[in-house]
Amino acid sequence: VGAPELAARLAELVGPVNVLVDDDVRTGFDRDWTGTWQGRSLAVVRPGTTEEVAAVVRCCAEAGVAVVPQGGNTGLVGGAVPSGGSVLLSTTRLRRLDPVDPVSSQVTVGAGVSIAQLHAHAGEAGLAYGVDWGARDSATVGGSVATNAGGLRVLRYGDTRAQLRGLEWVTASGQVVTRLDGLVKDNTGPFLPALLAGSEGTLGVITAARLQLVPQLPERVTALVAVDGIAEAVQVVARVRASTPSLEAAELVLRDGIDLVTGHLGLGLPFDRVPEAAVLLECADRHDPTEDLATALAGCPEVLDAAVATEPGPAAALWRLREAHTEVLASLGPPLKLDVSVAPDRLAPFTADLLAALAERVPASRPVLFGHIGDGNVHVNVLGVDPLDHDVAGLVLGVVARHRGSISAEHGIGRAKREWLHLTRSPAEIELLRAIKAALDPKGLLNPGVLFPG
C-alpha cells in the first residue's frame, strides 16, 4: 500500500480533515518540542473516538504499517517521534471529560485531555489530581500514563501508575479493551492497566483513563533549609518525612546551582552565607502544618538555617530558587541533561563519584545537579559539553548503574536511552519485557524503535 492510498483509507475512517499529509503541517508532529528528535511519518491521523482509534490501528495493521502514538508531544526522549514509514496517531482529539464521581473521588477522562484541564476539572468538584509537573498545559493524560509521569508530588501521591483505577486502550490488533469501572478492589488476575503504564506506546494505544483524585489541601507551608551537604539533606528529608505525613515536596539544590541563580538572576538568598546544599520542603494539609514542620525541623541537628513561608508570595520566592535553575542553565547552555535516580541513601556517594568522574575524564565539563530529593531523583545538567555528547551521557549513566540507580527516573527510555537499558534492567528482565512485547504486538507495529534495544 502506498502512502496516498493509506491516507485515503484513513480519511474514510476519521474524515479527511483529520488526516494530515502536508509536509509543513506534519513537521509540528514529527519532531519533538526541543527539536532534538525528529522523524518522518507517512501521515498524521487524529481520531476523535476510541472506535476511530481502533479502526486506524486495524487499517495500519492490515497494511503492515507501524503506528506511533503521540499525546502532547512534551516528551524528552524521542518516544513519540515517528520511525520512518509509520503513521503518527495523535490522541489529542480524545477529549472525553466525564463528571467527577464524588463518592469514589474518581474521574474518567480521554487520553487527549491535558493535565491542566484535568486539574481544573477536579478543582471544580472540590478535589485535586495528585500528579503535577511543568508541562501540564500541553502534556496529555494518555501520554502521562504511557510514560508513567512523575513530577513534583510523587513523594506524597506516587507516580501516574499509582493514580490509575482503570484504563481503556486499543491493542496491536485493533481490539478495544475497556476497564473503566474504577473498582478499588478487583483481584481477578493481574491489573493490566499497570502494565500499560510506562510502556511508551509499545503495548497499546491508550484512549482513556480512570484516575483517583485526592482532597484539596488549603493550608500550606514552605521552607528552605540550609545544610552542609547532600548526606545531611537526605537525613533532614528522612526525619521530616517520618514525622510529617503532610510533606508533599522535597527538592534539593546545591552550592553551584545556588551561585548560578543568585549571580545571573539576582535572586536573594534568605541565609547569611551560601550553604553547600539547601532543601526546599513543602507541606499541605487541612490544618495549618507550620507547627508540624517547625517541630520536625527542630528535631534535625543537620539544619544550619531555615526560612519559612506561609503566604503564597514568599513561598513562591523560595520555590524560585529551585525553579530558576532550568532557565539559567538553558541561557548558559544548552546543557547535556540526564534524568536519573538512585536510592536516597546513595545520593551523596553517587554525586561524589559522578563529580570526580566528570572532573577526571571531561575536565571542561561543568555539572549542575538538582532534583526531587525525596524520590532520589536527580536532574544531571552538564554545561561545557555538547548537549548530545554520547560519551558523556554514557559516562554519567555508568556511574548511575554502579550505584544501582535508574537511568531514567521520569522521562522514560524512548529512542534516547534504549542502548543503555541494560544498565538498569537485568538480561532476565529484558527477556521478559521482550516476551511480553512479542505476545501483545507480534508484528512489532506499535512504536517500533522505542524502549526496546535494537
Q: Are strands 336-341 and 305-309 parallel, antiparallel or unpaired?
A: unpaired
Q: Which is nearer to its own copies, 17 or 428 (CB)?
A: 428
240's grid cell: 521530616
Verify binding: residue 264, its own copies, rule CB under 8 A: no
| Single residue of 179, 322, 325, 337 touching its own copies by CB under 8 A | 179
At its nearest, how many Å lie between its own copies and the CB of residue 115?
16
Q: Tell me how far apart the alpha carbons of residues 369 and 351 are, in angstroms, rounded to a whole number.
A: 8
For residue 220, list its beta bridge partners: 284
Amino acid identity of residue 336, one-letter, is L
Instruction: For the segment 230-249, give every residue that binds its own copies (CB under 8 A).
Output: 234-235, 237-238, 241-245
The DSSP line for 133-192 is -TTTTT-BHHHHHHTT---TTHHHH--HHHHEEEEEEE-TTS-EEEE-S--S---SS--H
- Residues in Cβ contact with 124 at an 8 Å cutoff, skipping those fewer than 6 apart: 100
Q: Tell me how far apart the alpha carbons of residues 404 and 345 are, in angstroms, rounded to a whole number.
A: 12
Instruction: For the segment 29-88, give every residue that binds its own copies (CB under 8 A).
Output: none
Instruction: For the segment 299-338, give every residue that binds its own copies (CB under 8 A).
Output: none
Show the DSSP H helices in 244-311 as ranges.
255-265, 290-298
At its nearest, how many Å lie between its own copies and the CB of residue 173?
9
Verify binding: residue 364, its own copies, rule CB under 8 A: no
| Single residue of 11, 116, 183, 332 touching its own copies by CB under 8 A | 183
Q: Tell me how far apart the alpha carbons of residues 12 and 56 are, in angstroms, rounded to a whole number.
A: 10
At its nearest, how many Å lie between its own copies and the CB of residue 317?
27
Instruction: For the segment 88-107, give every residue that binds its own copies (CB under 8 A).
Output: 101-105
Interface map 371-390 toward its own copies (x if CB under 8 A) = -x-xxxx-------------
Q: Are strands 106-110 and 205-212 parallel, antiparallel or unpaired?
A: antiparallel
No. of H helices and E strands in the chain?
Answer: 16, 17
Verify binding: residue 207, its own copies, rule CB under 8 A: no
| Single residue of 55, 57, 139, 196 touching its own copies by CB under 8 A | 196
Instruction: Report CA-CA distances (Å) from 402 to 256, 293, 419.
Output: 24, 35, 17
Q: Tell me which residue of 44, 39, 64 sits closest to 172, measured CA to CA.
A: 64
Q: Which is nearer to its own copies, 274 or 432 (CB)?
A: 432
Q: Tell me how far apart the alpha carbons of residues 449 and 439 are, in angstroms, rounded to a whole number.
A: 17
356's grid cell: 570526580
At its nearest, how many Å lie between its own copies and the CB of residue 338?
13
Do the Cβ atoms of 90 and 45 come closer than 8 Å?
yes
Binding region for its own copies (CB under 8 A) out of 59-67, 150-158, 260-268, 386-394: 150-158
At its nearest, how many Å lie between its own copies and the CB of residue 245?
6
Instruction: For the segment 269-298, give every residue that binds its own copies (CB under 8 A).
Output: 285-287, 292
At its nearest, how many Å lie between its own copies and the CB of residue 160?
10
Verify binding: residue 262, its own copies, rule CB under 8 A: no
| Single residue of 47, 112, 367, 405 touching its own copies by CB under 8 A | 405
Q: Which is nearer to its own copies, 32 or 200 (CB)?
A: 200
| Single residue of 2, 188, 266, 268 touching its own copies by CB under 8 A | 188
Handedness of CA 454, 81, 324, 361 (dihedral sign): positive
Q: Which is nearer to its own copies, 172 or 261 (CB)?
A: 172
Instruction: For the segment 109-148, give every residue that binds its own copies (CB under 8 A).
Output: 126-127, 147-148
- How many of the chain's residues bind its own copies (CB under 8 A)? 93
Instruction: For the segment 407-426, give every residue that binds its own copies (CB under 8 A).
Output: 407-413, 417, 421, 424-426
At its nearest, how many Å lie between its own copies and the CB of residue 448?
15
